[in-house]
Amino acid sequence: MHTQKIAAAVAAIGLSVGLAACSDEQDAAEETTTAAAPSSEQQTQAAPVAEMPTVAELNSVIQRAADPNLPIQERMLTVQGGENVPELFDVMTQSQVESGANFQVVEPVLPDFEPNQVLAAVNLTAPGQEPTLINDVTFVNEGGHWKLSQMWACNLISSTLPPEQVPAMCSANPPVAPAPVDPGQGGAPAPAAPAAPAAPAAPAPEQGYQQAPGL
């Protein structure tokens, strides 16, 4: 009888120790997992922020994008998402050759609201045309490379090629044309042309009694 009680007590103690050991191991594993997994705040803080690019670096991005002598793998590193649209770079080269246009990034280069993005002004010159300053051109840092945003790559193409030569991926979202300017009013938008006055209505025929011929 006593033997059975002792055996039961030993079994209970062994079960208790086993459960305690399992509990300790589980707690240790949870602590290790918690310590190993950084919080979202830590992950955000650990995200690298690229240094501000110089004007020369951004100019190199635009020049390399349209350079037909460079391998396509290198050119694809100059436009955001360029690896998905390799045909875009031949169009960029075509637009520069046919139009004779030259794009030059000028100061200042400013940080954008989004991290790893900057805004810059680009001076567009072309034969027989006045220079045009294009503001707020977006450059994005992806994988350690500064790239022209795909939207602005399409905008620069659309500004130099006729609409029928703009690729479908760009013509789906064409740049918005500015309102016409009236030089006689100090550069203010031209007023809409007044509507033509409506033509007066023809008078209704008289409905009085008319005598039939011969009566």
So what's the pLDDT on residue 7?
Answer: 37
CA distances in angstroms from 144 to 48, 53, 113, 140, listed in the order given: 10, 11, 19, 10
Work out the pLDDT band at 203, boundaries 50, 70, 90.
low
Residue 103: count of CB within 10 angstroms of its CB: 22
Is the entire prediction scored with pTM above 0.75? Answer: no
160-194 pLDDT, tens per residue? 888 888 887 787 654 443 333 344 444 444 444 44
13-72 pLDDT, tens per residue? 344 434 444 455 555 545 544 444 455 454 445 457 889 999 999 999 999 999 999 999
Work out the pLDDT band at 195, boundaries 50, 70, 90.
very low
Instruction: Say if residue 131's pLDDT is above 70.
Output: yes
More confident residue, 212 or 68: 68
More confident residue, 132 or 5: 132
Per-chain mean pLDDT for the chain:
72
User: Is the CB of residue 146 less than 8 Å from the CB of residue 130?
Assistant: no
* CA 28 – CA 164 distance, rounded (Å): 67
Residue 79 burial (CB < 10 Å; 0-12/13-18/19+)? buried
User: Is the CB of residue 204 less than 8 Å from the CB of residue 120?
Assistant: no
* CA 127 – CA 129 distance, rounded (Å): 6
Alpha helices by DSSP H, listed for the chain, are 2-36, 40-46, 55-65, 72-75, 87-99, 150-158, 168-171
For range 75-82, the mean pLDDT: 94
Alpha helices by DSSP H, listed for 37-138, are 40-46, 55-65, 72-75, 87-99
For range 136-165, the mean pLDDT: 90
Domains observed in the chain: 55-171 (3.10.450)
So what's the pLDDT on residue 137?
Answer: 95
Range in 89-93, 132-136, 157-161 with the lowest mean pLDDT: 157-161
* CA 215 – CA 213 distance, rounded (Å): 6
